[in-house]
Amino acid sequence: MNELIAILTELHDDVDFTTETGLIENGILNSLDIVSIITEVSDRFDVTIPAEEIMPENFDSAEALWALICRLDED
Amino acid sequence: MTLTSLPFLIFAAVTVLLYYLLPKRAQWVVLLTASILFYAAAGGWYLPFILVTILTTFLLARVIERRAKADEDYIAAHKADMDKDARKAYKAAGKKKRFRILTAGLILNFGILAVLKYTGFTLSIVNDILGLFTASTLTVPSLILPLGISFYTFRSTGYLIDVYRGKAKAATNLGKYALFISFFPAVMQGPICRYNDLATQFDTPHRAEWDNLSAGLLRVLWGFFKKLVVADTLMAAVKTIVGIPEDFGGMYVLLLIILYSAVIYGDFTGGIDITIGLSRMLGLKLTENFNRPFSSRSTAEYWNRWHITMGSWFTDYVFYPLSICPSMQKLTKWSRAHLGKAIGMRFPVYLATLVTWFLTGLWHGASWNFIVWGVLNGVIILISRECEPLYKRFRERFPGLTSSAFYGGFMCVRTFFLMGAVRILDCYRDVPVTAKAFASMFYDFSHWGDLFDGSVMDKLGITLPVWVLVGLATLLIFFVSRAGKETPVADRLSRRPVLWTLAALGLAVTVMIFGSYGIGFDAGDFIYGQF
Amino acid sequence: MENMNVKTPQKTLWLRALCIVIALAILAAIPAVLTPILMPKYLTQSKEGSLTEEYYSAVAETNHDVLFVGDCEIFESFVPAILWEEYGISAYLRGGAQQLVWHSYYLLQDALRYETPKAVVFNVYALKYGEPQKEAYNRMALDGMEWSSVKAEAIFASMTEEEHFIDYVFPFFRYHSRWSELTAEDFAYAWRDKPAVSDSGYLMQTGIVPADTQSELTPEQLVDYTLPATAMAYLDKMRTLCAEKGIELILVKAPTNFWRYHWYDEWDRQITDYASTHGLAYYNLIPKASEMGLDMNTDTYDAGAHLNVYGAEKLTRYFGEILKEGHAIPDRRGEGDTAAVWQRRVDAYYARKAAMEAEAREQ
């Protein structure tokens, strides 16, 4: 989780990712950010996030994203 | 039948009437019949094409879903004897097979689109190349282009991908699925609805409700107003400027940027207003395609507000899959290792952005001007992304200025002109001509006098009363759009019968008197209907 | 789903219904109120557009023994006032700008709803057109017609591809775009009778522009000199209609033969044959020009395409003789009521002529 926060903070150092729950809804992350995140996640966690999982519910908060990573790792 | 023609009005009115008068169970049948009639009226030869698309995507989606289900059942049944890796491998193998089916469906349907829409363009390029070596050229066949093919191909392939991704359940009723693809108010120019958003609405019965009927009708009238009073009226001036680029350089190009922005706004958002308003009258809620686009502060924001359903289609089905596909990931890793982290991080995203915008341009039309238009949009978005740190420093340095309304307005105007300037490629339909016209703004100042001695009116063939009319109409659109930020004005008015009546009557009368319809106005076709 | 259970109060339902009824009523009233303003008045520009409607008030005053039908070669060539003055012939012109043969046929049929003349004179030049030409001329010929089944048939026979019947039923939809060009005239004559632009269908021109012999270019060669079958079919209809009513149909070709509006010998032969086949009189007046004293230096207002009033008077005197001698059109100068009506018309004719000549001198 902390590593994920680190990845996110690298992209936007002015956002508190531990509390923000509207990353997509409030337009903080754009499509280019999302691709960067997916690349980083694949690099560091060895989890591939497929295109169909790219939806606001999975990217709106660090927590949701972490849950997604865990779920994909489980499968 | 364009959406603003009298036959369409009658057709739509009869459809709405039958829709509510016949038994509720038959509502989707009424719409399907209307859609088939509407499509057939546009050209009988179009029907087989849309039918092939409907049948293939319908059947393949069912096959994909059945296989996915079978795989799941197998794993569930053999849970005990498979370990995690075996399960993963089994799943992956199944997915690969389903992917092949999906690919077949996509190749077939995009293939039809490509052959019909791009053969001429491709052959003309081949001929240009051949021309360098030989005198002989290939004949360019004239192929028919079924009505709304770009739109229905996207709707159907999007659905197929959604089923493959497990996001949508495969349709079980061919008739309802055919209606989703061919739904007549949206078949010509969108919005490109997603299956999950629209198709499920055909299952529920719809009662005739005042809120839907009144707000929907008002929105239809509003669309007529935008299209006939603003867009079609100004179209004459646009055609004049574009028709003789040699005579209308400099100031006229600047004027063209403004006028064509108004034309395309009135034309496209007006058309969508008619579509969504009419659907609302049928109790159906379509995805919004616009969100006050000219209030965007940046290009990226503009593309989240303009032609939203097309943008999101490209994002979901092209940009993401492309930028995170395995080979792109490999490319990222390679470029990171060899080009450094900063460039390596950007590489896949930038490549995917440019490819997506190239395809977006190509989707609009089979010619260079659209391709250049698309790639330019992509480049502008990337440049402004690169400049983001600069903007940020600027904002930190001058917090008072950058948070002021004035600065916000400046950003909107800047984006308006930037997008408008790129958009004139769509007017001239020729890249060198556009480039020359654009450049003339900066060296040819000979026409500015026309603005002050009034000769601009004669030259563009639009008289003073018409300018005043269009000016007032534009102001009205601006204020109504602003007032509708939270709740659309039509919805608010429909709760107040007297005000609603005044608004509807006012719009109807205004369109009847001041609308550019009838003999002498040939601009009736919608611009986006051609894409 | 919740608001499905909340019943809309009866009062609101009534209010909505009332609003919609009133709105629909206003919507229907708007074209009714605005059409008279928006319709072109054809008083200062394209005066020919007024010709069709002016017939009705004329026929209400008195009947006519001769009706002229056809294109500009009718309304710029024959002067009913002179026919009365010289021969006592009561005549009226139902001609119009580029009035095609089916326009003429239906305008004749329309006129026969009010009166039955002794003779109908048709100028044959329009037979060269077998297809509807221009929307503007359709409107000029048809808008002024009073409504009857004849008008409906005339519209269907005349429409170009871009036109719709509904635009004739509700001219509002055709002329709404004139909102930005309205002048004081449009408001002044919206609900008031317009002054007549013609004298019994004759549209006076007093200007003199000599025919320029230098530029008398040779008329262009045609691929096919056969007059269109569609046009000839309407000539047949006109002939049958006249025969049924016991009216003599007389064919005429006005004496002008401008290079752009050339009357080819091949066409003339076809008409001559047609006339002899059906026992009709046909007068090609082109060769008679000098006999009637036409001087194309003074008798044309547009360099030879059309006659001015001086040429028209000469032609009329010549043709009146033919009508009187050859076709036994009665002299009604002794008939009190008719004579009184015609005296007014003749006076109006000379008053207009004097006014136009005075105006021309001023300029």
Pairing state between β C248-253 and C281-284: parallel
More confident residue, C264 or C45: C264
| Range in B10-14, B484-488, C234-238 with the lowest mean pLDDT | B484-488
C246 φψ region: left (φ > 0), alpha (ψ -120 to 50), beta (else): left
Confidence band, pLDDT 50/70/90 cuts, at residue B105: very high
Do the domain assignments include residue C345?
Answer: yes
Beta bridge partner(s), residue C67: C92, C120
Confidence band, pLDDT 50/70/90 cuts, at residue B459: confident
Q: How far apart are CA B467 and CA B59, in angstroms?
A: 54
Q: Answer whether C258's CB lies under 8 Å from C304's CB.
A: yes
Q: Which two tokens stand for residue B429?
A: 């339909």
Nearest to C12 among B463, B497, B516 (CB): B497
The string of DSSP letters for C187-252 reads: HHTSSSPPPPSSBTTB----------STT-PPPPPPS--SPPHHHHHHHHHHHHHHHHHT-EEEEE
Q: How far apart are CA C252 and CA B305, in angstroms?
A: 70
CA distance A52 to chain B (A): 6
Q: Answer whether B518's CB lies under 8 Å from C179's CB.
A: no
Please tell me the predicted confidence (pLDDT) of residue B119: 85
Q: Which residues of A touch B167 (CB under 8 A)?
A: 52
Please tell me the predicted confidence (pLDDT) of residue A26: 79
Q: Do chains B and C touch (3 or more CB pairs under 8 A)?
A: yes
Q: Helix or strand or coil: residue C348?
A: helix
The string of DSSP letters for B344-379 reads: HHHHHHHHHHHHHHHHHHHHH-SSHHHHHHHHHHHH
CA distance C181 to chain B (A): 9
Q: Which residues of B touch C171 (CB under 8 A)?
A: none
Look up tokens 């017939």; give the residue: C55
Note whether A16 contacts B: Cβ–Cβ < 8 A. no
Please tell me the predicted confidence (pLDDT) of residue C215: 56
Bond preceding residue B191 cis, omega within 30 of 0? yes
| Main-chain phi, psi angles of B172, to 5 degrees | -105, -20
H-type helices in B225-298, by residue range?
A: 232-243, 251-264, 270-281
Q: Which residues of C touch B519 (CB under 8 A)?
A: 135, 162-163, 167, 174
Residue C247's closest CA among C124, C113, C150, C116? C116
| Chains contacting chain A through 3 or more C-beta pairs under 8 A | B
| Chains contacting chain C through 3 or more C-beta pairs under 8 A | B
Count of C-beta atoms within a 10 Å radius of residue B336: 18
CA end-to-end span of chain B, whole Å? Answer: 17
Yes or no, beta carbons of B512 and C176 under 8 Å apart: yes
Q: Do chains C and A touch (3 or more CB pairs under 8 A)?
A: no
CB contact residues (below 8 A), chain B span 52-91, against chain A: 88, 91
Q: Taking residues B402-415, report their average pLDDT.
A: 89
Please tell me the predicted confidence (pLDDT) of residue B1: 75
Do the domain assignments include residue C9?
Answer: no
Q: Is the pLDDT of residue B134 over 90?
A: no
Q: Is the pLDDT of residue B217 over 50?
A: yes
Q: How far apart are CA C274 and CA C272, in angstroms?
A: 5
Please tell me the predicted confidence (pLDDT) of residue B3: 86
Please tell me the predicted confidence (pLDDT) of residue B523: 41
Q: Answer whether A34's CB lies under 8 Å from B319's CB.
A: no
| Range in A22-31, B31-40, B114-123, C159-168 with the lowest mean pLDDT | A22-31
Q: Which two tokens stand for residue C339?
A: 């004579």
Q: For B466-525, what is each residue's pLDDT tens digit? A: 999 999 999 999 999 989 888 888 888 888 888 999 999 999 999 999 988 877 665 445
Yes or no, beta carbons of B497 and C15 under 8 Å apart: yes
Q: Using N-to-C axis directions, what is the helix angle for B174-182 and B27-42, rounded to 10°?
A: 50
**Range of the structural domain that residue C223 is part of:** 43-362
Note whether A13 contacts B: Cβ–Cβ < 8 A. no
Yes or no, beta carbons of B352 and A38 under 8 Å apart: no
Nearest to B315 among A31, A52, A75 (CB): A31
Yes or no, beta carbons of B324 and A30 under 8 Å apart: no
Q: For B274-315, what is each residue's pLDDT tens digit? A: 999 999 999 999 999 999 999 988 888 899 899 999 999 999
Q: Taking residues B322-343, report their average pLDDT.
A: 82
Q: Helix or strand or coil: residue A48?
A: coil
CA distance B8 to chain C (A): 15
Q: Helix or strand or coil: residue C281?
A: strand
Total tally of structural domains belonging to chain A: 1
Q: Answer whether C16's CB lies under 8 Å from B493's CB.
A: no
| Main-chain phi, psi angles of C203, to 5 degrees | -100, 105
Q: For C79-92, what is each residue's pLDDT tens digit? A: 999 999 999 999 99
Yes or no, beta carbons of A51 and B352 under 8 Å apart: no
Count of C-beta atoms within a 10 Å radius of residue B500: 23
Beta bridge partner(s), residue B52: none
Q: Which two tokens stand for residue A67?
A: 């849950």
SS (H, E, C) B427-445: HHCCHHHHHHHHHHHHHCC
Q: Is the pLDDT of residue B403 over 90?
A: no
Please tell me the predicted confidence (pLDDT) of residue C274: 96
Q: In what order do the strands lie in the sheet with C66-70?
A: C91-95, C66-70, C119-123, C248-253, C281-284
Q: Do chains B and A touch (3 or more CB pairs under 8 A)?
A: yes
Note whether B351 contacts A: Cβ–Cβ < 8 A. no
Yes or no, beta carbons of C27 and B508 under 8 Å apart: yes
CA end-to-end span of chain C, whole Å? Answer: 80
Q: Taking residues B310-334, report their average pLDDT.
A: 87
Q: For B419-438, what is each residue's pLDDT tens digit? A: 999 999 988 888 889 889 89
Yes or no, beta carbons of B88 and A52 under 8 Å apart: no
Q: Is the pLDDT of residue B344 over 80?
A: no
Residues 6+ apart with CB under 8 A from B243: none
| Main-chain phi, psi angles of A54, to 5 degrees | -80, 95
What is chain C's mean pLDDT, rounded? 91
CA distance A75 to chain B (A): 7
Yes or no, beta carbons of B300 and A30 under 8 Å apart: yes
Q: Is the pLDDT of residue A75 over 70?
A: no
Do the domain assignments include residue C32?
Answer: no
| Main-chain phi, psi angles of B4, to 5 degrees | -105, 15
Yes or no, beta carbons of A30 and B316 under 8 Å apart: no
Between B and C, how many residue pairs show a Cβ–Cβ distance under 8 A? 55
CATH number at residue A13: 1.10.1200.10
Nearest to B319 among A31, A48, A49 (CB): A31
SS3 content of chain A, % helix, strand, coil (to 5): 60, 0, 40
Nearest to A35 among B167, B300, B348 (CB): B348
Q: Which residues of C touch B469 (CB under 8 A)?
A: 180
Q: Which residues of B touch C23 (CB under 8 A)?
A: 501, 504-505
| Range in B150-164, C266-280, C293-307 with the lowest mean pLDDT | C293-307
CA distance A15 to chain B (A): 14
Total tally of structural domains belonging to chain C: 1
Do the domain assignments include residue C29?
Answer: no
CATH number at residue C144: 3.40.50.1110
CA distance C258 to chain B (A): 31
Q: How far is CA C152 from CA A22, C28, C176, in A?
A: 67, 22, 22
Pairing state between β C119-123 and C66-70: parallel
Q: Helix or strand or coil: residue C151?
A: helix
CA atoms within 13 A on the CB side of A29: 29
Q: Which residues of A touch B323 (CB under 8 A)?
A: 35, 38
For an interface test with A, the pick among B301, B313, B323, B354 (most A C-beta atoms closer than 10 Å) comes out as: B323
Q: Which residue of B has its CA nearest to A52?
A: B165
Q: Answer whether B526's CB lies under 8 Å from B145's CB.
A: no
Residue B287's closest CA among B262, B316, B330? B316
Please tell me the predicted confidence (pLDDT) of residue C344: 95
Nearest to C16 among B207, B210, B517 (CB): B210
**Range of the structural domain that residue A20 is part of:** 2-74
Note whether B348 contacts A: Cβ–Cβ < 8 A. yes
Q: Answer whether B270's CB lies under 8 Å from B224's CB.
A: yes
Residue C118's closest CA among C332, C279, C278? C332
Q: Is the pLDDT of residue C218 over 80?
A: no
Q: Which two tokens stand for residue B123?
A: 């052959």
Q: Is the pLDDT of residue C6 over 70?
A: no
Q: For A23-58, what is each residue's pLDDT tens digit? A: 888 778 877 788 888 888 888 888 888 888 888 888
Q: Taking residues B167-174, report their average pLDDT.
A: 92
H-type helices in C247-287, by residue range?
A: 265-278
Between A and B, how many residue pairs show a Cβ–Cβ distance under 8 A? 45
Q: For C100-151, what is each residue's pLDDT tens digit? A: 999 999 999 999 999 999 999 999 999 999 998 888 899 999 999 999 999 9
Yes or no, beta carbons of C19 and B518 under 8 Å apart: no
pLDDT > 90 in chain C, percent: 75
Q: How far apart are CA B236 and CA B316, in angstroms?
A: 38
| Main-chain phi, psi angles of B294, to 5 degrees | -80, 5
Q: Taking residues C251-266, report their average pLDDT.
A: 89
Q: Answer whether B449's CB lies under 8 Å from B259's CB.
A: no
Give the single-character DSSP code of C289.
T
Q: How far apart are CA B50 and CA B156, in angstroms?
A: 10
CA end-to-end span of chain A, whole Å? Answer: 19
Q: Which residue of B has its CA nearest to C38?
A: B513
| Chains contacting chain B through 3 or more C-beta pairs under 8 A | A, C
For an interface test with B, the pick among C15, C16, C26 (most B C-beta atoms closer than 10 Å) comes out as: C16
Q: Which two tokens stand for residue C157?
A: 């026979």
Q: How many helices (H) and strands (E) does chain C have?
A: 15, 5
Q: How far apart are CA C84 and CA C89, in angstroms?
A: 5
Our CA angle for B435, B438, B442, nearest 5°, is 125
Residues in chain A: 75
Bond preceding residue C330 cis, omega within 30 of 0? no
Q: Which residues of C touch B512 (CB under 8 A)?
A: 30-31, 172, 176
B contact set with C (CB within 8 A): 6, 207, 210, 463, 465-466, 469, 497-498, 500-501, 504-505, 508-509, 512-521
Q: Is the pLDDT of residue B527 over 90?
A: no
Please tell me the predicted confidence (pLDDT) of residue C44: 87
Q: How far apart are CA C88 and CA C339, in angstroms?
A: 8
Nearest to A36 among B300, B321, B345 (CB): B345
Q: Answer whether A75's CB lies under 8 Å from B88's CB.
A: yes
Q: How far apart are CA A64 and CA A36, in angstroms?
A: 17
Note whether A49 contacts B: Cβ–Cβ < 8 A. yes
Confidence band, pLDDT 50/70/90 cuts, at residue B530: low
